[in-house]
Amino acid sequence: MQDKVVIVTGGSSGLGRATAELMIAEGARVVIADINGEAGEAVANAIGAEFVRTDVGDPMEVEALVSGTVARFGQLDVMCNNAGVIAIAPVLETTNEAFDHMVTVNFGGVFYGTRAAGRVMAEQGFGAIVNTASNGGCSPSEDMAVYSGTKAAVVALSKACAIELAPKGVRVNTISPGTMLTGMVPDVEGIVEVLDKLQPIGYAANPSQMAAGVLFLASDEGNYVTGHDLVIDGGATAGRRAVGV
């Protein structure tokens, strides 16, 4: 990733921060974009990134993020559309506001980011886009109907974009993480132990274990990989566990 220019949305926390840190360790120049200005500035200062406050649900802000990054660095090598939100609720109790927010950020944000970066990369003739989905997209969870739907949509969108952009030298892939201990995990006593037990591998992931997958998809080592959904979930969606009978 030496000297490559990388944008990471949702880079103030969790997987986005871990991705930004790993990219910088590999020699990249990284722009963190996040709606949380205070955390974004602090993280960017701590890890040696630049920060642009961005609401990925606003197409104009995403266009400005991408065009500003290209104006600053001259090119864009990697776009990680990673920002996401969740509202956990039974489907019958899910509000219009919660639906709109998840669709706008999780699906809209990935579309706006893929379109803006894709235009620049198609013009350059190179680039890699890595979109964050979830293993909930292919194996949905109770009380996460809308969230899971947005993540399935991210995978389908990315595969279609991969087909369209491959002849232009641009790769588009998704990463589908399983449960990670990040700001997205509800702050409930004992939750970590419960989440650990749900993973066949025995513990919920550290975001850095996902960032390694993002790095592979973004890097030249992955230069023949496009339209792929890389599931990293400790075996959680590999199949059913025995029920002991």
Q: Does 102 bind ligand NAD (CB under 6 A)?
A: no
Q: Which of 130, 155, 157, 180 binds ligand NAD (CB under 6 A)?
A: 180
For 182, residues 6+ apart whose C-beta sits below 8 A from its C-beta are: 13, 14, 15, 207
> Which of 80, 128 has the CB closer to ligand NAD?
80
The answer to whether residue 112 is catalytic is no
Minimum CB–partner distance for residue 97 and ligand NAD (Å):
14
CA–CA separation, 169 and 159 (whole Å) = 15
Minimum CB–partner distance for residue 8 and ligand NAD (Å):
10
Residue 224: is it exposed, middle or buried by C-beta count within 10 angstroms (0-12/13-18/19+)?
exposed
Give the orientation angle of helix 207-218 with respect to helix 14-25, to 10 degrees: 50
CB 25 within 8 A of CB 6: no
Site residue total, ligand NAD (CB under 6 A): 28
Q: Between 21 and 40, how does the x/- string for binding to ligand NAD read (CB under 6 A)?
A: -------------xxx----
Q: Does 19 bind ligand NAD (CB under 6 A)?
A: no
Q: Between 216 and 245, how does the x/- string for binding to ligand NAD read (CB under 6 A)?
A: ------------------------------
Comparing C-alpha atoms, which of 180, 198, 195, 207 is closest to residue 236? Answer: 198
106-165 residues in contact with ligand NAD (CB under 6 A) are 132, 134
User: CA-CA distances (angstroms) from residue 167 to 66, 122, 226?
Assistant: 22, 9, 11
CB 106 within 8 A of CB 154: yes
| Binding span for ligand NAD by CB under 6 A among 9-17, 90-98, 111-119, 219-227 | 9-17
Q: Does 183 bind ligand NAD (CB under 6 A)?
A: yes
Minimum CB–partner distance for residue 89 and ligand NAD (Å):
16
For residue 140, the tally of other CB atoms under 10 A from its CB is 16
Minimum CB–partner distance for residue 181 and ligand NAD (Å):
7
CA–CA separation, 43 and 111 (whole Å) = 25
Q: Which of 78, 83, 117, 145 binds ligand NAD (CB under 6 A)?
A: 83
Per DSSP, 103 falls in state: I
- For ligand NAD, the binding residues (CB under 6 A) are 9-10, 12-16, 34-36, 54-57, 82-85, 105, 132, 134, 177, 179-180, 182-184, 207
Catalytic annotation, residues? 147
